Amino acid sequence: MQLVTPSLEHLASYVQTLERGWSADSARAALVAQEELKKIADDAGAFLASQIDREARGEPVTLPDGSQVARLPGLRRWLWDGEFCGVIGLRWQPGTEALPPYCLGHIGYAIVPWKRRLGYATQALSQILPEAQALGLRYVEITTDPDNLASQRVIEANGGVLHERFIKPESFGSSPGLRYRIAMGPQIEQNGNGA
């Protein structure tokens, strides 16, 4: 498995996944899948370009409750093993590790159901950490749910340490969450091979 920049070469496989009703946005999966299919049909090049938005020029982000907030600089990579397997995203605010309250973490990932339990999420997180470090981040925060043991294992396998238990903002349903931190440093280069 490798991370790839979203491109025309990989787009057909991504479209097939959206057509199955999957989306990286688990709270609004079917709706987001349809929205993305429309954007791809209207202008595939613009859709692909929107996956890398280092200047936060894209449209606002819709939260699970339907409210919209300003986009942060960010980028997405697709997981690829000969076909689309999932997505991992990195977002940040220039010059600081701080994130606005509506952004739960620097990194988010989602694996298609038929590619889970293959270690792909662990590999993807390992592969994107050097990009976070290259941005000058001293650490990244990743959140997950208390009952999502698989995600907790992915984060911990990449050096994540539980930073806090918290209640998500109302726009995310006011449910409990866990916030992990992964410190940037020499271990990123050693772990960069996905081991």
30-66 burial code (b ≥16 CB/10 A, e <16): eebbeebbeebeeeeeebbebbebeeeebeebbbeee
What pLDDT, in 10s, does the model give residues 152-189?
Answer: 999 999 999 999 999 999 988 899 999 999 999 764 44
Q: Is 180 exposed, middle or buried (0-12, 13-18, 19+ CB in 10 A)?
A: buried
For residue 122, what are the domain limits?
2-191
**Three-class secondary structure of residue 48 per DSSP:** helix
Rounded to whole angstroms, the Cα distance separating 152 from 57 reads: 32
Rounded to whole angstroms, the Cα distance separating 185 from 130 reads: 9
What are the structure tokens assigned to 137, written together? 């981040």
Rounded to whole angstroms, the Cα distance separating 98 from 144 reads: 18
What pLDDT, in 10s, does the model give residues 113-139?
Answer: 999 999 999 999 999 999 999 999 999
pLDDT band, residue 73 (cuts 50/70/90): very high
Q: How many domains does the chain contain in total?
A: 1
pLDDT for residue 26: 74
Is the separation of the CB atoms in 19 and 40 below 8 Å?
no
Q: Domain of 113: which CATH number?
A: 3.40.630.30
What pTM, to 2 d.p., does this model score?
A: 0.88
What are the structure tokens assigned to 146, written together? 């208390």
